Amino acid sequence: MSELHKFIFEGLPVRGMLVRLTDAWQDILARRASNTTTGAYPAPVRQLLGEMAAAGVLMQGNIKFNGALVLQIFGDGPVKLGVVEVQPDLSLRATCTQVGEVADNASLSEMVNVNNVGRCAITLDPQDRLPGQQPYQGVVPLFGDRGEKLENISEVLEHYMLQSEQLDTVLVLAADDQVAAGLLIQRLPVEGEGNLAGKTDSVEREAVLGQSEDFSRISILAKSLKREELLTLDAETILHRLFWEEPLARFEPFIGETGPRFACRCNRERVGQMIRSLGTEEVEGIIAEQGQVEVGCDFCGAQYRFDPVDAAGLFTGLNPDVSGGSVH
Ligand SMILES: [Zn+2]
């Protein structure tokens, strides 16, 4: 079962989380594989989307926010768009749009950042958004401080967290066809730290510096975690191996009903709204050509069909079948 573990280091300004997506991740991959139009993801795309899914759960688990966290990557390569959406209850969905061939050993930049114009966007979309209220969005490039292309989504997200939240973060991510997993270690803000340069009180100054050393030590331990270990070892073993000498205090894990799991939020009503937004002319054209309007959900594979009567109903407001079920 998929799980999220939260922990702190007692007395130290450091917190962490470990996520392992198993059934939730396999569900996402199986839905894609059964899509006869796209087929399964190539291995490098699977790794990218899996790492994004693990990171999305860690980031949602890390904030106090009642709304969806949406992690997107987009650019000018054969992978046009990757999307992961995680709800506050940790249910998630994810998909990638592929528009060209991806080589077996394709790197992140070869997939989405060929000419260094690729971007990663993090959106926080409140559950009860007021009319006119915009979701919060942060966008970071897929290159580092010297313009060098970044080849790990973990580095991109570490940059984002430093920029947007001013928080030192270490992220270790990995994914294969069974597991998508991640470890996050973050330095908690220490009061008054911003004024460190002006501190004359040496005791206070030393206290702050000391706490920073704790983070350095713990982040070195975290970075020593290998991809293979993250994918194959259970949470207990990983945390014990890395932090057995540290004052680790763990919280009740989120597993099963409360843990990360696949769930799609598509429904016939929203698809109907989308079709309506195309306009009468466009929709009539599609019906003339195909006899119906058929829309598939990229996230879960559900197919929504609107016959001429359903489609006409969308425009007259007298839709007889707006609450009808989807065809899976
Ligand atoms: Zn769906």
Per-residue pLDDT tens digits for 201-247: 566 655 666 668 899 999 999 999 999 999 999 999 999 999 999 99
CA of 268 to the centre of ligand 1 (A): 10
Return the beta strands (E) in the chain as ranges: 3-9, 14-21, 67-74, 79-86, 91-98, 119-126, 136-141, 169-175, 180-187, 248-250, 254-255, 261-262, 293-296, 303-306
Place of tokens 């000419």: 115
Per-residue pLDDT at 186:
95
CA of 138 to the centre of ligand 1 (A): 25
CA-nearest of 184, 167, 214 to 61 is 184
Q: pLDDT above 70 covers what percent of the chain?
A: 90
CA of 301 to the centre of ligand 1 (A): 6
For residue 13, the tally of other CB atoms under 10 A from its CB is: 18
CA of 24 to the centre of ligand 1 (A): 14
Beta carbons within 8 Å of 25's beta carbon, 6+ residues apart: 2, 50, 53, 175, 178, 179, 180
CA of 304 to the centre of ligand 1 (A): 10
For residue 162, the tally of other CB atoms under 10 A from its CB is: 13
What are the φ and ψ backbone dihedral angles of 212, each rounded to 5 degrees?
A: -70, -35
CA of 277 to the centre of ligand 1 (A): 19
Per-residue pLDDT at 32:
95
Range in 50-64, 161-175, 222-236, 252-266 with the lowest mean pLDDT: 161-175
Range in 77-91, 135-149, 314-328 with the lowest mean pLDDT: 314-328
CA of 176 to the centre of ligand 1 (A): 23
CA of 174 to the centre of ligand 1 (A): 25
Q: Which two tokens stand for residue 129?
A: 């958004």
Q: Does the structure show a pLDDT above 70 at 123?
A: yes
CA of 316 to the centre of ligand 1 (A): 26
CA of 93 to the centre of ligand 1 (A): 8
How many angstroms separate the CA atoms of 150 and 48, rounded? 13
CA of 15 to the centre of ligand 1 (A): 34
Per-residue pLDDT tens digits for 232-291: 999 999 999 999 999 999 999 999 999 999 999 999 999 999 999 999 999 999 999 999
Exposed (0-12), middle (13-18) or buried (19+): which is 323, by Cβ within 10 Å? exposed
The whole model's pTM is what?
0.88
Q: Does the structure show a pLDDT above 60 at 322?
A: no
Exposed (0-12), middle (13-18) or buried (19+): which is 243, by Cβ within 10 Å? middle
Place of tokens 């992961």: 84
How many angstroms separate the CA atoms of 206 and 212, rounded? 10
CA of 51 to the centre of ligand 1 (A): 21
Distance of CA 161 to the CA centre of its chain: 14
Per-residue pLDDT at 5:
98
Beta carbons within 8 Å of 199's beta carbon, 6+ residues apart: 205, 208
Per-residue pLDDT at 197:
52
